[in-house]
Structure 1
Amino acid sequence: MKWRCEHCGKPHERNDPPCDNCGHSEFEKAVVPLAPEAEDEEATKTYAWICTECGNDHPKHTPPCDRCGNPTLERRALSYDEDEIVEEMLEDSSGRTPSADVSYLEVIDAKLALLFLAVAALVAYLALGFLGVVQIPGISPAPPVPGNATAADGLALEDVESAYVEELNAQRESEGYANLTSDGDVVSAATYVNQQVVRAEYGDENLTIERSAVDDRLGDRCADGYTPATFSFDPERAGDTPDTERELARRLVATRTGTSSFEEESEGLVGVDVHAGPDGVLYVTQIVC
């Protein structure tokens, strides 16, 4: 370490006073000044090697340029515009750049709002489906059945259905077959089939009868199989209008005379549904098993 004279400041290689310049007898250690510290901004700069032709940046000086093959790379300090970076991050898919004042929290809140709106719209749609305002398969209730399920020309269709079974049994008995017993589950299945037929006739032509819906209504009543039959009867075209439920039932049974579904000895249960269409045509569905 170098020494210097305390009086005149002349440097000396060794601590061997007196000073050969002024004769002073005291030396002190010389202090080597350090280089000034780099400015904070300079110290935090990031550098890259930039191609002078295409502007491609490289982390190291490794010519030629890996993009265009130019052999000249120039060392440059990289600078970042924080506002520009924020704008790029907030830029939406449509290319519209939001205001720089928009915060990340506001962006998240906007997305949550859109999510809530979508959920609300879905709930509203399902609610309309449950109410029958819009038709959603598997959710919406079935549309109303056109016509009348209870009466036709002043005749109670429920009484017509009961008389129908009695007339059917009278015909079977005369031919040596056992009587059929009306069953609630089989009646429910016949009603479903008949109403679907009427809906298709006066509304949706593409409406179908779901086998699973029939089976669900039958339960285990017809485990060995069942025989459905559907037909229509137009009193106006027939040229007469029966005055009583019994007369109408007799006419309906006669319409189906001779079909196998009336004569199977193994059949023991029956379900019948009669429905009047908007134009007065009667639709009948019977299921026996």
Structure 2
Amino acid sequence: MEWRCEWCEKPHEENDPPCDNCGHGTFEKAVQQVNHEVVPGGTVWVCQDCGRSHQRNSPPCKRCGGANLELREGPPETDPLDEIGTRWLDVLEPKYVAGYAAVAVLLAVLLLSAVGVISLPTFGGPTGPPPVPDAPGSADSVGDLSLAGVEDAYVAELNERRTAEGAGALARNTTGDEAAAYYNKATVAAVAGDGAGPDREAFSRFALACEQPAVVSYRVAPERTGGSVSEFENESALAAALVDSYVERGNAFRAGDTVGVDVHVAPDDTVFVTYVVC
């Protein structure tokens, strides 16, 4: 019983793959008599895209990268592309040209980044603003006072003082509030021994309106405000005392257009204040 290659159908005397013509690894029993006539030149696999001959059916084509090879007997003595002087660039497909161009652009960008001409974002690192850490004490209310109301009154009082000094009023900014809350809560947690404090890289991930925001952070002890926070008549009274504490220390008003603020009361009644100006 004759054997032949399942792929190129070349006959073989024994079931002993791989095929010595195409390299295929499986033979089958021949069901028909196979023509043993040897055509001068043997068999070759010809690329259907550029005409290059190959000894085995092992795409892609070594010239143009085509995947469609056809078995033929008696290969031409000369390559038709050689006769017309075709170069490998002539059979290069547009999709490969686009790929080479993209790689060239990427290499150029990486080179410019390496020499410091441009900067690239850090890959794989944290993205987006950091979460506001938990901090001991109160972030919402103390007694009958709403700390959100204290923050509103603080901005109003601060703007009144700034206007009087010719510094200009600041518009309240939500992103600034979030950045101030992160900084303030992280500070409270660090003072209480529950954290490492605000992180510069994490703070930079807030999408603030300026590249170099001014961060003002301070704390006011009960003896400086004149008593317990819960004893203040209303939010405006506490806010005025907090602004007074800042101004009385001789601190200057920071230049900017927007402001975010956070007020937090620690368990010992110390008030932590942070505001961010852009």
Superposition TM-score, scaled by structure 2 size: 0.48
Superposition TM-score, scaled by structure 1 size: 0.47
Structure of larger gyration radius: 1
